[in-house]
């Protein structure tokens, strides 16, 4: 079993300790809080609940092992941005609320480092920020607009700033760089070390984690699993890209794929050419998201979107490893850094993220039913799940804080359309993003397709 789980990602392949499943739920049991899903969202919720009220009986139910999902496979950016922009939050609430929402996430990025230290989780945390290179005039325009809008909202130059070509290249030597954007509140981490360490920290505080336990559905005060029922006053759904597996939840979050590769450890000579000292996370400002980090053991871990959404929200291991998409990602990486020309790619993997209909992440707790949920993070869930878990724990224990009245608390996205509309809409959007990038590369001008896409999605 361990070998199967190790093969899920470079991160699981290099995490210390066994990956054997913890004991499954032994039959019916009672708890105060039952949490479905042992990724960052479920485990941060359990962790903060155990701090706020050590007397609570908290049970986490996980179909596979802790970190099986996106939390053990991601790009390792603990990122101070959501799937929607701070300006979109302001449009839906107010300028002040959007700034509080944004800065709460910046705090969560720092908090991950603090908890990792306190709990002795060696997750290779390095707060080097995010360099988003502009590698064409269109990308530079996009970076400028993004920084200007954030400054107009009230974010400071220390938090986000535009870079000239020399400054942008000083972070890392990507080809064709003519400028860039830099966001300070971003740390690189080793995702599996964080999620596995967090599971152990929860257990040290009395949380019980049952792995190999598949939940089929839930209702107020009870979770149904293949191993028995858990009766609990509070039930938390923390299943993100896999939410469709729960009865009645097929259209809540669409599973969207993101795929990654990792190189072998690179020589000092190659690193001298590439840079990235201080381990900033990196991307460029194209429409189809790409993301990378320099790992603590001297590799490049790099990913991108572009694999298709599958009809009926199907989740499929073969799509997580599509050769054509991995080839494209590898090609993009070699285009960014020609210095890696001879470097071997040692790992290829992928996973699913949860896409809400309006792209807006949320946390919610309804005291009258005892039902809670956190998710819809798309590709920005590492730090967001930390904030979500902290907030959910406060909502559940009735602890008021600067987090419990943020705009995303209680937000609900409407369900996705039934098929085939969902399939056509999501894959149409993916096609528009990649064809806009091709058009931009060809013509050197921005593409209207992206504006159209955003309008269609209601963003
Ligand atoms: C390849 C990739 C790269 C990414 N890169 C980044 C990045 O660099 N930065 C960033 O911020 N975000 C990134 N993300 C997104 C981020 O990883 C996720 O948003 C985050 O990990 C979500 O955590 P979660 O706990 O909500 O969900 P998950 O980690 O997916 O956890 C859900 C858990 O629930 C379990 N589960 C599901 N259904 C059931 C059921 N019915 N019964 C029992 N258990 C169930 C699953 O097995 C899983 O372990 C990336 C995602 C992917 C796939």
* pLDDT tens per residue across span 63-83: 999 999 999 999 999 999 999
Q: Are 97 and 89 in contact (CB under 8 A)?
A: yes
Is residue 450 predicted with pLDDT exceeding 70?
A: no
Residue 459 confidence (pLDDT): 44
From the CB of 386, is ligand 1 less than 6 Å away? no
From the CB of 81, is ligand 1 less than 6 Å away? no
438 confidence band (pLDDT: 50, 70, 90): confident
Is residue 411 predicted with pLDDT exceeding 70?
A: yes
More confident residue, 445 or 341: 341
Is residue 287 predicted with pLDDT exceeding 90?
A: no
From the CB of 75, is ligand 1 less than 6 Å away? yes
Candidate of 41, 59, 74 to mutate for ligand 1, largest count of ligand atoms within 8 Å of Cβ: 74
Is residue 366 predicted with pLDDT exceeding 70?
A: yes
From the CB of 80, is ligand 1 less than 6 Å away? no
DSSP state of 70: G
Is residue 383 predicted with pLDDT exceeding 60?
A: yes
From the CB of 239, is ligand 1 less than 6 Å away? yes
Nearest of 457, 356, 360, 382 to residue 93 by alpha carbon: 360
Task: From the CA of 72, give the closest atom in ligand 1.
Answer: 29
d(CA 167, CA 132): 12
Is residue 436 predicted with pLDDT exceeding 60?
A: yes
d(CA 149, CA 128): 23
Chain Cα centroid distance, residue 207: 24
| Average pLDDT over every residue of 93-114 | 98
Residue 452 confidence (pLDDT): 53
d(CA 60, CA 235): 10
d(CA 56, CA 168): 49
CA of 63 to the centre of ligand 1 (A): 13
Task: From the CA of 375, give the closest atom in ligand 1.
Answer: 26
Nearest of 41, 37, 36, 46 to residue 397 by alpha carbon: 46
In order, the DSSP letters of 221-282 are: TEEEETTEEEEEEEEEE--GGGGGGSTT-TTTSEEEEEEEEEEPPPPHHHHHHHB-TT--EE
From the CB of 64, is ligand 1 less than 6 Å away? yes
CA of 240 to the centre of ligand 1 (A): 6
* b/e sequence 107-143, b meaning 16+ C-beta within 10 Å: bbbbbbbebbeebebebbbbbbbbbbbbbbebbbebb
From the CB of 350, is ligand 1 less than 6 Å away? yes
From the CB of 155, is ligand 1 less than 6 Å away? no
From the CB of 245, is ligand 1 less than 6 Å away? yes
From the CB of 293, is ligand 1 less than 6 Å away? no
Alpha helices in 253-402 (DSSP H): 268-274, 323-336, 382-397
Task: From the CA of 352, give the closest atom in ligand 1.
Answer: 53
Residue 458 confidence (pLDDT): 42
Nearest of 454, 253, 244 to residue 353 by alpha carbon: 253
From the CB of 257, is ligand 1 less than 6 Å away? no
Residue 117 phi/psi, 5-degree rounding, is -65, -50
CA of 72 to the centre of ligand 1 (A): 7
From the CB of 303, is ligand 1 less than 6 Å away? yes
Checking DSSP bridges between strand 228-237 and strand 160-163, what pairing results, if any? unpaired
CA of 241 to the centre of ligand 1 (A): 6
Residue 454 confidence (pLDDT): 53
Candidate of 258, 316, 353 to mutate for ligand 1, largest count of ligand atoms within 8 Å of Cβ: 353
Helix (H) or strand (E) holding 15: none
Residue 351 confidence (pLDDT): 98
CA of 352 to the centre of ligand 1 (A): 7
Q: What is the pLDDT of residues 174-212, one digit of tens each?
A: 999 999 999 999 999 999 999 999 999 999 999 999 999
More confident residue, 31 or 441: 31
Residue 440 confidence (pLDDT): 76
From the CB of 227, is ligand 1 less than 6 Å away? no
Mean of the per-residue pLDDT values for the chain? 95
Q: What is the pLDDT of residues 294-338, one digit of tens each?
A: 999 999 999 998 899 999 999 999 999 999 999 999 999 999 999
Structure tokens at 279: 């381990």
| Average pLDDT over every residue of 387-414 | 98
d(CA 336, CA 138): 17
Nearest of 98, 99, 80, 100 to residue 89 by alpha carbon: 98
Percent of the chain with pLDDT over 90: 90
Candidate of 12, 71, 254 to mutate for ligand 1, largest count of ligand atoms within 8 Å of Cβ: 71
Candidate from 247-256, 392-401, 432-441 with smallest mean pLDDT: 432-441
């Amino acid at each position: 079993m361990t070998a199967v789980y190790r093969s899920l990602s470079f991160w699981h392949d290099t995490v210390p300790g066994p990956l054997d499943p913890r004991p499954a739920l032994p039959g019916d049991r009672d708890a105060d809080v039952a949490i479905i899903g042992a990724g960052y969202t479920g485990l941060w919720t359990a962790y903060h609940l155990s701090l706020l009220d050590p007397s609570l009986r908290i049970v986490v139910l996980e179909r596979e092992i802790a970190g099986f999902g996106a939390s053990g496979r991601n790009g390792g950016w603990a990122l101070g941005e959501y799937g929607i922009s701070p300006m979109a939050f302001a449009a839906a609430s107010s300028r002040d609320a959007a700034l509080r929402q944004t800065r709460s996430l910046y705090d969560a990025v720092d908090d991950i480092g603090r908890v990792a230290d306190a709990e002795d989780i060696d997750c290779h945390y390095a707060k080097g920020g995010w360099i988003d290179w502009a590698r064409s005039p269109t990308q530079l325009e996009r970076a400028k607009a993004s920084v200007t809008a954030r400054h107009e909202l009230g974010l400071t130059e220390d938090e986000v700033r535009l870079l000239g070509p020399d400054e942008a290249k000083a972070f890392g030597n990507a080809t064709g760089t003519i400028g860039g954007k830099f966001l300070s509140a971003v740390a690189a981490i080793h995702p599996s070390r964080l999620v596995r360490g967090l599971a152990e920290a929860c257990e040290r505080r009395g949380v019980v984690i049952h792995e190999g336990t598949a939940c089929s559905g839930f209702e107020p005060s009870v979770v149904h699993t293949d191993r028995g029922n858990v009766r609990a006053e509070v039930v938390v759904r923390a299943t993100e890209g896999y939410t469709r597996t729960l009865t009645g939840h097929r259209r809540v979050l669409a599973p969207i794929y993101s795929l990654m590769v990792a190189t072998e450890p690179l020589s000092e000579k190659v690193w001298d050419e590439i840079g990235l000292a201080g381990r900033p996370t990196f991307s460029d400002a194209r429409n189809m998201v790409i993301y990378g980090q320099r790992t603590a053991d001297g590799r490049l871990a790099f990913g991108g979107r572009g694999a298709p959404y599958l009809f009926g929200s199907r989740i499929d291991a073969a799509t997580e490893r599509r050769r054509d998409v991995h080839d494209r990602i590898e090609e993009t990486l070699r285009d960014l850094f020609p210095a890696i020309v001879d470097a071997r790619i040692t790992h290829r993997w992928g996973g699913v993220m949860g896409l809400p209909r309006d792209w807006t992440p949320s946390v919610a707790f309804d005291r009258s039913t005892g039902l809670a949920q956190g998710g819809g993070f798309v590709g920005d869930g590492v730090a967001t799940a930390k904030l979500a878990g902290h907030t959910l724990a406060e909502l559940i224990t009735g602890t008021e804080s600067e987090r419990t009245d943020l705009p995303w608390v209680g937000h609900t996205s409407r369900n996705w359309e039934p098929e085939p509309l969902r399939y056509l809409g999501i894959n149409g959007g993916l096609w528009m993003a990649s064809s806009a990038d091709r058009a931009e590369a060809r013509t050197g001008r921005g593409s209207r397709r992206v504006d159209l896409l955003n309008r269609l999605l209601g963003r």
